[in-house]
Structure 1
Amino acid sequence: MNVGASRPFRSPKAILFDLDGTLVDSAPDIAAAVNELLAGRGLPPLGVDQVKAMIGGGVGKLVERAFAASGSPLVGSALEEANRDMAPIYRRHLTGLTRLMPGVREALTHFHVNGTAMGVVTNKPQLATREILLHFQLTEYLGAIVGGDAVTNLKPAPDALLLALDQLEVEPYEALMVGDSVSDVGAARAAGMPVVLLRGGYTRVPVEELGADLVCDSLLDLLSAMQKLGAAA
């Protein structure tokens, strides 16, 4: 656990969570969708670890990176067509191989019982996000669910975070962002929020180097860390 010295860490009124790599390990499903798209164009499949490194920035960026990694980069209308083809494929691969990350249900139950408002902010499309959260019966914990197509600008812009906080009626300085990537750090900083990153998510850079206020092994580690920090305040 690393605590940043940039700002004090206080018990938040609300916690916003990223989805992919934070609440769920969705990389196998995302890889299956990518490979179905590539196979339709006669291209070889990519490994799950390859696809995991491409996650972040929305489905459009994922498609662009996948074709580039396959040696057949797309631009312009060809990329737009591939994105249109990806939409129904992506929706078929949401929960078949996806699993909860360690400690998720325990952590959300804890915060819910203690009266902490919670929301999910992700670059994944809104309907796909809701389907995953419903599948894992997590919606009952959440007062806000904001997908990438619900805002003008994706993370690392602060739009999704600010919209979720508006729905939760909590100010940014009273809230905490929990994610796994540089996009989560950028969005939190732009929104004026402290940010915690979890190890084991989807980042191409070591999580300790991304500038978070706190780095934890899992959401269960976040619980104990916050309790310790609160007791020391």
Structure 2
Amino acid sequence: MSDGAMLQMPKAILFDLDGTLIDSAPDITAAVNELLAGRGLPPLSLAQVKSMIGNGVEKLVERAFAASGTPLSNGGLEEANREMAPIYLRHITRLTRLLPGAAEALAQLHVAGVRLGVATNKPQLATREILLHFGLAERLGAIVGGDAVTRKKPAPDSLLLALERLGTEPRDALMVGDSIADVEAARAADMPVIIIRGGYTKVPAEQLGADLVCDSLLDLPAALDGLRNAA
């Protein structure tokens, strides 16, 4: 836990999606490579695409073309993003899997009466389809995708909108994510943040500036129980 962190048992918990609740990198890689193939460009590796995830589909597309040696800008980038939209929706649950402890953690927290939400940079439609596919949507009182707000993470907009829908103030909530965008969004929203190790970040989890780092979501309920007992 970082120095001076003031964690307590939250009334509401917001989760990031990609790299936190789900491993979507294989599906995202397939979508990116289908888009590139349509332009006659060679495929990118899973590791390459994984390093591009986290700031929304538009930034993903921009980074993918740059990595392919064919950077796009302005109209070219807008056209590529229009092409990507239907491709992306075809690749959201084929290869994607829940990360260890995701279903169990949400179930336990839901039963405990904690209000739950998702705040992600992934588009709203794809986010909802994935959560429905894995049976998680019924546990969630708020699902906020990147296109539901004006500014994506690391801006706090999606977190604040989710908390508004959950009827909870930031001081009574907690963010759980995997990247610097999640930490910065939580800080901007004035709420504590837990990072789950092993997500889509090039920076080591301990260096992201979170209040707490958990090895996996399997450890989250126990960590929160510790907060409850310390309260």
Q: Same fold (TM over 0.5)?
A: yes
Corresponding residue number in structure 2 for 1:132 = 130
Match of residue 213 from structure 1: 211
- Which of these residues, 197, 200, 208, is aligned with residue 199 of structure 1? 197
Shift of 1:225: 1.6
Cα distance, 1:69 vs. partner? 0.6
Any stretches of 5+ residues in structure 2 without a counterpart? none
For residues 3-59 of structure 1, the C-alpha deviation after alignment (integer angstroms, 9 at most, x for no partner) is 122322100000000000000000000000000000001111011111000001100
Distance 1:218 1:151 in 2: 28
CA distance in 2, matches of 1:220, 1:91: 29
What's the TM-score, normalizing by structure 2?
Answer: 0.98
- Hey, what's the Cα distance between the residues in 2 that align with 1:232 and 1:122? 30
**1:94 matched to which residue of 2?**
92
Partner of 2:14: 16
Name the counterpart of 1:224. 222
User: 3-state SS of the aligned residue for 1:118?
Assistant: strand
Query: What one-letter code is carried by the residue in structure 2 that aligns with 1:56?
Result: G
Query: Which of the numbers 179, 182, 186 marks the counterpart of 1:181?
Result: 179
CA distance in 2, matches of 1:118, 1:226: 14
What is the distance in 2 between the residues matched to 1:189 and 1:103? 25
Q: TM-score, normalised by structure 1?
A: 0.98
The whole-number CA distance in structure 1 between the counterparts of 2:39 and 2:100 is: 36
Structure 1 Cα separation of the partners of residues 188 and 7 of structure 2: 17
Amino acid at match of 1:35: N
Q: Is 1:117 matched with 2:127?
A: no
Give distance in 2, aligned partners of 1:156 and 1:49. 22
Question: 2-side partners of 1:107 and 1:17: how far apart?
Answer: 11
Query: Among the aligned pairs, what percent are the same residue?
Result: 71
In 1, Cα distance between the equivalents of 2:226 and 2:188?
A: 27
Q: What's the CA shift for 1:74?
A: 0.7
Structure 1 position 44 matched with structure 2 position 66: no
* Structure 1 residues 50-89: aligned runs within 5 Å: 50-89=48-87
What is the CA distance between 1:231 and its match in structure 2?
2.0
When the two chains are superposed, the root-mean-square deviation of aligned CA atoms in Å is 0.8
Shift of 1:204: 1.2
Count of residues paired in the alignment: 231
Deviation at 1:141, TM superposition (A): 0.4
Q: Letter of the aligned partner of 1:224 in structure 2?
A: A
Counterpart code for 1:208:
E
Q: State the Cα distance separating 1:157 from its structure 2 match.
A: 0.4
Q: CA deviation at 1:230?
A: 2.7
Q: Which amino acid aligns with 1:119?
A: G
Unaligned regions of 5+ residues in structure 1, if any? none
CA distance in 2, matches of 1:228, 1:83: 44
State the shift of 1:220 in Å.
1.5
Q: What is the aligned partner in structure 2 of residue 157 from structure 1?
A: 155
